[in-house]
Amino acid sequence: MNYAICAAIGKRAVIQFRYDGSPRTAEPHCHGTDGSEDEVLSAFQTSSPSGWRYFDVSLISNLRETQDLFLANRTGYNPNDPHIITRHCCV
């Protein structure tokens, strides 16, 4: 489990990180494992192109919280997302 992701989710902090070599900015909503037992993050990516994304946590590097917070869940957030089998932390 990635404690930094769960800490950001608990604070509703916007995060920045590199994913597969590219910079990303996102609002993390749920972190857990998928059906293959890989750690995944469901987040709304606010950097271009924006939208809902699943991120393989093993490909995330240089994760840091920003000073920005998101107060409401993004439209389209499903707290019972069937893609995430085991939930470590969610908003």
Where along the chain do its domains lie? 3-90
Cβ-Cβ contacts under 8 Å for 17 (sequence gap 6 or more) = 23, 24, 26, 60, 61, 62, 63, 64
Q: Confidence band (pLDDT; 50, 70, 90) for 20?
A: confident
CATH no. for 3-90: 2.30.30
As to burial, measured by CB atoms within 10 angstroms (0-12 exposed, 13-18 middle, 19+ buried), residue 5 is buried
pTM: predicted TM-score of the whole model, two decimal places: 0.93
For 23-66, the pLDDT digits (tens) are: 999 999 999 999 999 999 999 999 988 999 999 999 999 999 99
